[in-house]
Structure 1
Amino acid sequence: MRFLPLVLSVLFASVAHAAPVAAPEETSQPLINIPGLQQVQDVGRAVGTQATELVSAAMGFLGVPYRRGGTSAETGFDCSGLVKTVYQDSLGLVLPRVAAQQAASTKKVARNDLQPGDLVFFNTMRRAFSHVGIYIGDGKFVHAPRSGAGVRIESLSGAYWKKRFNGARRVLALDDEPTPLVMRVSDPAIR
């Protein structure tokens, strides 16, 4: 997985020169085409290096299989395991393990104020905040959806996700300190 930054830079460069592609109709199928990827990269630059690192790290796990309780690319991810791993590997921030705890430990953000790297939450199990993904820009998010599927990109405007959207959260503003439930890897409590 360490060669991923090179692969992603090649992917970003090829998308930048590709002809624009119309967005697909609403579907619960994964979005194979990523027409907004260049926009995501541009938005990431505007928001800061942290957002770009988060989005790149999340995209690096595309295709990794779902595994309940999973927290690694080698064995698979569940939704909150993916989020926890991406934040820890890219920014050195340790988030709680469960989606509902991740929501409780972060700051609310309005849907129209979403920025790449924000967390998006859904009610997929008849309870609030039972599923989480990472917003990457252009109305899309990366997540580990369910057993039998891999980490993928989907649209917030898809009928399934739109109906189940619970809200969005921001882990950190660029210059904020972590909340008590979010720690930096360098914190003594983690050692």
Structure 2
Amino acid sequence: MMSHVDNPILEARRLGDPPPGLVREALLAQHDQWAGTPYRLGGTTRRGIDCSALVQQIFSDTFLVDLPRTTGDQVLAGDQVAREELKPGDLVFFRPPGVYRHVGIYVGDGRFFHASTSRGVMISELDNSYWQRYYWQARRTLEPTTLAQRLLASREG
């Protein structure tokens, strides 16, 4: 069995949750930089980006975390969490009609940050009837304490 020193998730749980505002503020600052960027399937830049590339980029830039490139692979990352247990930094997944799946990052207060196919990078409400209808699951890739620690490390480096 791993000790909390060997396992960052156990270490984060031992330390307890950081103020949720730290991760939320960082995500909202990233939103301000990306807001209005158009959606482009397969895109990875501010000229056009898709939902999974946005999530991958935000986690890399903000938390120094490498996530897989596609929604199909991102949905396998971390641990599944109940919708009622969402915390800023959790990934939220949707299954709208058609072949594609959709992913965003929960920012708190029932809202998530994502690259919308119709409106580009934006913040939406989970309780919106469209997103409510197609909500699939949420995943926690790292505990909030670990995200906060990585955020602080990224600011120092």
Per the normalisation by structure 2, the TM-score is 0.74
CA distance in 1, matches of 2:61, 2:106: 17
Structure 1 portions without partners, runs of 5+:
1-44, 178-183, 185-191
| Cα drift, residue 58 of structure 1 | 3.3
CA distance in 2, matches of 1:82, 1:61: 9
Q: Deviations over 1:30-55 (max 9, x none)?
A: xxxxxxxxxxxxxxx72263443234
> Match of 2:38?
65
- Residues 24, 108 of structure 2: 8 Å contact kept: no
CA distance in 2, matches of 1:94, 1:106: 12
> Structure 1 residues 108 and 50 mapped into 2: Cα distance closer, same or farther (>3 Å)?
same
CA distance in 1, matches of 2:70, 2:95: 14
DSSP-derived class of the 1:124 partner: coil
> Match of 2:107?
136
DSSP-derived class of the 1:112 partner: helix
1:46 pairs with one of 3, 10, 19: 19
Matched, 1:168 2:141: no
Q: Deviations over 1:101-146 (max 9, x none)?
A: 111012111101111111100002446x810011111111111111
CA distance in 2, matches of 1:59, 1:115: 20
Q: Deviations over 1:161-189 (max 9, x none)?
A: 10100011111014569xxxxxx9xxxxx
Q: Percent identity?
A: 40
Question: Which structure: greater strand fraction?
Answer: 2
Matched, 1:121 2:93: yes
DSSP-derived class of the 1:104 partner: coil
Runs of 4+ in 1 over 2 A off after TM superposition: 47-56, 174-177
- Residues 39, 50 of structure 2: 8 Å contact kept: yes
CA distance in 1, matches of 2:55, 2:97: 18
> Structure 1 residues 59 and 113 mapped into 2: Cα distance closer, same or farther (>3 Å)?
farther
CA distance in 2, matches of 1:59, 1:133: 15
Q: What is the aligned-residue RMSD (CA, Å)?
A: 2.5
Question: Which structure: greater helix fraction?
Answer: 2
- Residues 58, 134 of structure 1: 8 Å contact kept: no
Kindly tell me the number of residue pairs found equivalent between the two proteins: 132
